[in-house]
Amino acid sequence: MRAHLGDQLVIKSQRAGEPGRDGEIIGLRHDDGTPPYDVRWSDTGDVTLVFPGPDAHVHHLEHHPQHARTEPGRPDASGVPVPVPVPTPTATVPVGVGPGDIGRRVAAERRRRRLTREETARRARVSPEYLRYIEEHPAAPTPATLIRLSDALGTTVAALRGGGADAPPAQGRALRHPRLRDLDPKECRALLAGHGVGRVAVTTPEGSPAVYPVNYDLLDDTIVFRTTPGSAPAKAVGTDVAFEVDHVDAALSQGWSVLAVGPAAAVTDPETVRDLSRRVHTTPWAGGERDLWVSIRPTRLTGRRITQADDR
Q: How confident is the model at residue 18 (pLDDT cuts 50, 70, 90)?
A: low
In angstroms, rounded to a whole number, what is the distance separating the alpha carbons of residues 9 and 3?
9
Superfamily of domain 101-161: lambda repressor-like DNA-binding domains (1.10.260.40)
Check residue 275 and give its pLDDT: 85
- Tell me the CATH architecture of domain 178-308: Roll (2.30)
pLDDT single digits (tens) 198-215: 999 988 777 788 899 998
Q: Is residue 25 within 8 Å of 58, Cβ to Cβ?
A: yes
Q: Give tens-digit pLDDT for 215-256.
A: 898 888 899 998 888 888 888 898 889 999 998 876 667 889
d(Cα 53, Cα 11) in Å, to the nearest integer? 8
**What CA–CA distance (Å, rounded) separates 285 from 272?**
23
**Number of neighbours of residue 64 by Cβ within 10 angstroms:** 19
Phi/psi for 295 (5° steps) reads -115, 145
- Whether the Cβ atoms of residue 232 and residue 241 lie closer than 8 Å to each other: no
CB neighbour class for 226 (10 Å; exposed up to 12, middle 13-18, buried from 19): buried
**Are the C-beta atoms of 24 and 42 separated by less than 8 Å?**
yes
Q: How far is CA 197 from CA 60, 129, 295, in A?
A: 41, 39, 15
For the chain, which residues make up each domain, given as ranges?
7-59, 101-161, 178-308
pLDDT digits (tens, 9 = 90+) for 137-171: 877 787 888 888 988 998 888 888 876 555 555 55
Query: pTM, whole model, 2 decimals?
Result: 0.50
Do 117 and 110 form a contact (C-beta atoms < 8 A)?
yes
**Mind giving me the DSSP string for 31-69?**
TT-PSPEEEEETTT--EEEE---TTEEEE--S--GGG--
Average of per-residue pLDDT values in the chain: 79
202: closest CA among 168, 246, 236?
236
Distance from C-alpha of 125 to C-alpha of 121, rounded to nearest angstrom: 6
pLDDT tens for residues 51-83?
A: 888 788 888 764 444 444 444 444 545 554 444
Which has more pLDDT, 132 or 252? 132
Closest to 222 measured CA to CA, from 197, 208, 243, 251:
243
